[in-house]
Amino acid sequence: MDELKLRILTDGKNLGGGILKVDGFINHQVDPALMESCGRELASRFARVGATKVLTAEISGIGPALMTASHLHVPVVYARKTKPVTMPDQIFLTLAPSHTKGRTVELIVSPEYLGRGERILIIDDFLATGQTIMGLVRLAQAAGADVVGIGALIEKRFEGGRELLSTLGVPIEALALITDMSEGRIVFGQ
Amino acid sequence: MDELKLRILTDGKNLGGGILKVDGFINHQVDPALMESCGRELASRFARVGATKVLTAEISGIGPALMTASHLHVPVVYARKTKPVTMPDQIFLTLAPSHTKGRTVELIVSPEYLGRGERILIIDDFLATGQTIMGLVRLAQAAGADVVGIGALIEKRFEGGRELLSTLGVPIEALALITDMSEGRIVFGQ
């Protein structure tokens, strides 16, 4: 998606070590118009998978997931990383190693909002190692729901997430696919 | 705003102790259409304050703030509660006691996205004790920005936040104002 790629090239920063800074338009400051376009595009790419719900992880997945869900006219659930007081005692919980945080995080969803027969579209800001998304897949499976697609704004192809997730046999879409970030480069692929 | 009040009455739960559970449509599962309506309404109420940016706090402020910013055609910044690796060393940081979490949280904004001369509209899901919002006010003030309005989806009037914030002399708007949650009640006021 050219609009996102152009924005990454103009406002994104390759900080080295595979870290792409997109704090100016996705992860800290958010451009609502860009997020709207990305949500519309993801909704369009997954228009035929019959999703009944979008699932993401707090924090930075919320924007893209909300905008995608808005265009698909389905609810969005964001997995929590800490259990709020409003959540019941019985929950779905999985652990996912976070590359950028350097530690393992909990992903928690209430059984009230994820159930058998749901058709789940997973949306996140990044597809990198795929560990967070695989955590969301496990939550959906634990609930007896079917994962019908996986979408991300930005994929870092060289971190192997697509290989991990391709075993699921569902469509995987990324709006900006980055194949190389070595030596300060930001190289897009198809 | 009748749409939100009706939803609170049908899907919200008074858990006692002043805790209103809205996990089914705002805080864990989100209804994008409702959030869209709320964003449009908040944008309309603050149409004349000349906001150049919307400021909120992660996590549950992101949805309403993003939708409001989308209708105002301005960026939204969400204060982080932990400093990501992509943020510079020099940051704006304040501490805010969290009533629902029973502890003090950090609110962090990068000086890259909050600066002198900005006109800041603060949007959050709840206006309760006002402590989180007052933390966001301090961040804006530290950056030399002006707070021009404060909006929330739900106000719990009996927790005193409005009194605390009214000293700022800016318009304060809540889409659903709750005056009483004693004995299992959810009573709306004007």
Q: What percent of chain B has pLDDT over 90?
A: 96
Q: Encoding tokens for residue B157?
A: 């009037």
Task: Return residues 85-114 of A near B (CB < 8 Å).
Answer: 85-87, 100, 109-110, 112-113
Find the distance separating the first CA and the last CA of chain B, reported in whole Å: 10
Q: Encoding tokens for residue A98?
A: 């976070």
Q: Is B59 on the interface with A (CB under 8 A)?
A: yes
Closest CA to B150 of B142, B140, B159: B140
Which of A19, A33, A35 has the CB atom closest to B85's CB atom? A19
Question: Which positions in chain A touch B12 (Cβ < 8 Å)?
Answer: none
Kindly report, residue by residue over B56-92, the tens digit of the pLDDT: 999 999 999 999 999 999 999 999 999 999 999 999 9
Can you tell me the ipTM of this complex? 0.96
Kindly report, residue by residue over A127-162, the tens digit of the pLDDT: 999 999 999 999 999 999 999 999 999 999 999 999
The pLDDT-based confidence of B103 (bands split at 50, 70, 90) is: confident
Question: Which positions in chain A touch B100 (Cβ < 8 Å)?
Answer: 84-85
Q: Is B47 on the interface with A (CB under 8 A)?
A: no
Residues A173, A147: contact at Cβ < 8 Å? no
Please give the C-alpha separations between residue A15 and each of A4, A30, A155, B120, in angstroms, as whole numbers: 18, 19, 16, 29
Residue in chain A closest to B79 (alpha carbons) equals A28
Question: Which positions in chain A touch B110 (Cβ < 8 Å)?
Answer: 23, 28
Q: Which residues pair with A29 in a beta bridge?
A: B77
pTM greater than 0.90: yes
Residue in chain B closest to A83 (alpha carbons) equals B101
Question: Which positions in chain B touch A93 (Cβ < 8 Å)?
Answer: none
Residue A98 has pLDDT above 90, yes or no: no
Query: DSSP string of chain A?
Result: -HHHHHHHHHH-EE-STT-EE-IIIIISEE-HHHHHHHHHHHHHHTTTS--SEEEEETTTTHHHHHHHHHHHT--EEEEBSS--TTS-SS-EEEEEEETTTTEEEEEEE-GGGS-TT-EEEEEEEEESSSHHHHHHHHHHHHTTPEEEEEEEEEEEGGG-HHHHHHTT-S-EEEEEEEEE-GGG--EE--
